[in-house]
């Protein structure tokens, strides 16, 4: 069964460093998403991506964040200068009409 | 602001009994609702969805009920099993939002007692 994959599963970084979280969406999907979930809290929408551009973004997705689809398979989330409050699980998702499929997440720990 | 929320943070149910997880939403423009299951250490997993033109939808062992009058959504799990232990999130999609931006509730942790 096709699935969304994410790497790494856990990323530890120092405050101020750049991180890139990687996702491989399901191959025939056209819509891609990033969400984050701070430990014990609800899932929060970050950004949606379609046709090689951002469709929508939340207020969380400020200038420190960027997304790319550098090739036909990968979808990345970059945080330029990480802050302590960026520590969270980051989930990538892709979708077909009426159903999103989520990856297993990357746990980002900012020290 | 408008948001989706859950009534109870934790629900403890005897194995074999039915579980009912509730969700309140405040945006009357929402037209599509989804229940997700999140097991420990994993990403959310789609369970069942319902559109606003329906009030009930059934899946395998699960039923979602939608009451638009009081803006209430519930997930019923029949004959709860240990594998049902997880956090359950409801999410809503705003009407006309073609980008499928979901607004998530806070989650209810379902605990199964043996």
- How would residue B99 be classed by pLDDT, with cut points 50, 70 and 90? low
User: Can you list the domains of chain B with their CATH numbers?
Assistant: 4-113 (2.60.40.10)
Q: Tell me which chain B residue has its CA closest to the CA of residue A49.
A: B99
A100 contacts A93 by C-beta, under 8 angstroms: yes
Integer CA distances (angstroms), B8 to B5, B22, B87, B90, in order: 9, 8, 11, 12
Outline where chain B has alpha helix (H).
none
Classify B83 as helix, strand or coil: helix
Q: Which parts of A57-107 fold into alpha helices (H)?
A: none
Q: Do B46 and A99 touch (CB under 8 A)?
A: yes
Residue A61: Cβ within 10 Å count: 20
CATH of A5-101, one of 3.40.30.10, 3.80.30.20, 2.40.160.50, 2.60.40.10: 2.60.40.10
Domain boundaries, chain A: 5-101
What mean pLDDT do residues A28-42 have? 89
Taken in order A49, A51, A53, A58, the sign of the CA dihedral is negative
Q: Do B101 and A48 touch (CB under 8 A)?
A: yes
Residue B2: pLDDT band (50, 70, 90) is very low
**CA–CA separation, A43 and A92 (whole Å):** 12
Pairing of strands B45-51, B19-25: unpaired
User: Do residues B51 and B40 lie in contact, with contact meaning Cβ atoms separated by under 8 Å?
Assistant: no
* Contact predicate B95/B30, CB 8 Å: yes
**Residue B100: per-residue pLDDT:** 65
Retrieve residue B31's tokens: 């037209």
Q: Which tens digit of pLDDT belongs to each residue from B45-79?
A: 989 999 999 999 999 999 999 999 999 999 999 99
Q: Which residue of B has its CA nearest to A54?
A: B99
Confidence (pLDDT) at B28: 86
Q: Where are the beta strands (DSSP E) in chain A?
A: 5-7, 10-13, 19-24, 31-37, 43-50, 53-57, 65-68, 75-79, 88-96, 99-102, 106-110
User: Contact B94/B29 with Cβ under 8 angstroms?
Assistant: yes
Average pLDDT of span A41-64: 91
Per-residue pLDDT band for B1 (boundaries 50, 70, 90) equals very low
Q: Lowest mean pLDDT: which of A8-12, A28-32, A63-67, B66-70?
A: A28-32
> Count of CB contacts below 8 A, A vs B?
48
């Amino acid at each position: 069964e096709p699935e969304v994959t994410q790497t790494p599963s856990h990323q530890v970084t120092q405050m101020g460093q750049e991180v890139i979280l990687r996702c491989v969406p399901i191959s025939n999907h056209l819509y891609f998403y990033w969400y984050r979930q701070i430990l014990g809290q609800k899932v929060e929408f970050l950004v949606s991506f379609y046709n090689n551009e951002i469709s929508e973004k939340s207020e969380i997705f400020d200038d420190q964040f960027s997304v790319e689809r550098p090739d036909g398979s990968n979808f990345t989330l970059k945080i330029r200068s990480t802050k302590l409050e960026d520590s969270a699980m980051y989930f990538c998702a892709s979708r077909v009409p009426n159903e999103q499929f989520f990856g297993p997440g990357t746990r980002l720990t900012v020290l | 602001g408008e948001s989706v929320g859950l009534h109870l943070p934790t629900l403890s149910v005897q194995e074999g009994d039915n579980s009912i997880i509730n969700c309140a939403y405040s945006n009357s423009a929402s037209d599509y609702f989804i229940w997700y299951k999140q097991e420990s250490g994993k990403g959310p997993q789609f369970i069942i969805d319902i559109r606003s033109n329906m009030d009930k939808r059934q899946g395998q062992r699960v039923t979602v009920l939608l009451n638009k009058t009081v803006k209430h959504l519930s997930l019923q799990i029949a004959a709860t099993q240990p594998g049902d232990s997880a956090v359950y999130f409801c999410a809503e999609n705003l009407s006309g939002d073609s980008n499928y931006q979901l607004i998530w509730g806070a989650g209810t942790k379902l605990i199964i007692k043996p």
